[in-house]
Amino acid sequence: MVVTKCLSDCKEVKTCLADIGKAFYTRKPLIGTECCASILKMDRDCDKTIFGAYHNPFFDWAVKLHCSTKAGSTPYAPSPA
């Protein structure tokens, strides 16, 4: 199954997919660390496979933003004025 390949780093693929769906419908991306790690490693084809059904070009961006902060990366500091 393509979805399983796209989320291969995640042990609980069904839970990850459920979290992604819940994030879409509640507009609150509360996605676990393991699922986020898989999402951040996805290529463009997997992006289309996982997020394409939601028909919202900003949804995958919002999820990836959530995941990038959850993964421990820090946002850019504002430039000094």
The yes-or-no verdict on residue 60 having pLDDT over 50 is yes
Q: Rounded to two decimals, what is the model's pTM?
A: 0.77
Tell me the torsion sign for CA atoms 60, 50, 37, 27.
positive
Ordered by start, the domain boundaries in the chain are 43-71
Q: What is the pLDDT of residue 76?
A: 47
E strands along 2-59, which residues? Answer: none
Separation of alpha carbons 69 and 76, rounded Å: 11
Residue scoring higher pLDDT (67 or 76): 67
Q: Which amino acid is at 34?
A: E
Q: What percent of the chain has pLDDT over 70?
A: 85
In the structure, what pLDDT confidence band is assigned to residue 79 with cuts at 50, 70 and 90? low
Q: What is the pLDDT of residue 17?
A: 92
